[in-house]
């Protein structure tokens, strides 16, 4: 009689070890597949195609920001039930007219709903576009160019609370 038979314990065999190894590596493999799937399906897009080139353009970005500050514009961007609205006034409070306003809209979480739209001047210093957006978080990159070569840029992030 073996010692294991007297105590009622089962013997640990090579077959048991094989089952444990297969189960362990099976779990590791399944977790890796699940993580790879979730990483690929939740792709949020790139901020910069090439980080090195973006870093080389940093000084020109700072110079453009300084030029924009010198303009002294008071600009407001919003989205309401009607659509996108951009209002801009100069330093003295007068409306800024004659701008070419382009807005790049998108979701920060995925690329499926990205769109580029041009706002029309609908009043003195007021640029708008009738456009319904689904509810949720949105990012808007706005570029307003004047006839004199002036340029104003701003990024906005907002939540559209009503599905339209």
* pLDDT score at 2: 58
* pLDDT score at 157: 86
* pLDDT score at 163: 55
* pLDDT score at 107: 85
DSSP bridge partners of 74? 89
Q: What is the pTM of this model?
A: 0.63
Question: For the stretch 5-31, what's the b/e string if a residue is b when 16 or more beta carbons lie within 10 angstroms of its beta carbon?
Answer: eeeeeeeeeeeeeeeeeeeeeeeeeee
* pLDDT score at 60: 83
* pLDDT score at 93: 87
Q: Which residues of the chain have pLDDT under 50?
A: 1, 164
CA angle, 103 as apex, 164 and 129 as ends, to 5°?
50
* pLDDT score at 90: 86
Surface-to-core class of residue 99, CB atoms within 10 Å of its CB (0-12 exposed, 13-18 middle, 19+ buried): buried
């Amino acid at each position: 009689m073996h010692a294991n038979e007297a105590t009622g314990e089962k013997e640990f065999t090579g077959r048991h070890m094989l089952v444990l190894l297969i189960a362990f590596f099976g779990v590791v493999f399944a977790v890796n597949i699940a993580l790879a799937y979730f990483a690929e399906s939740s792709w949020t897009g790139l901020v910069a195609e090439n980080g090195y080139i973006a870093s080389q353009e940093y000084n020109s970005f700072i110079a453009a920001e300084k030029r924009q500050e010198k303009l002294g514009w008071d600009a407001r961007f919003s989205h309401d039930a009607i659509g996108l609205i951009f209002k801009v006034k100069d330093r003295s409070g007068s409306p800024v007219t004659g701008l070419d306003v382009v807005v790049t809209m998108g979701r920060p979480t995925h690329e499926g709903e990205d769109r580029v739209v041009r706002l029309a001047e609908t009043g003195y210093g007021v640029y708008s576009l009738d456009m319904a957006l689904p509810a949720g978080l949105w990012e808007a990159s706005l570029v307003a160019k004047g006839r004199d070569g002036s340029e104003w840029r701003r990024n906005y992030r907002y939540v559209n609370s009503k599905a339209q």
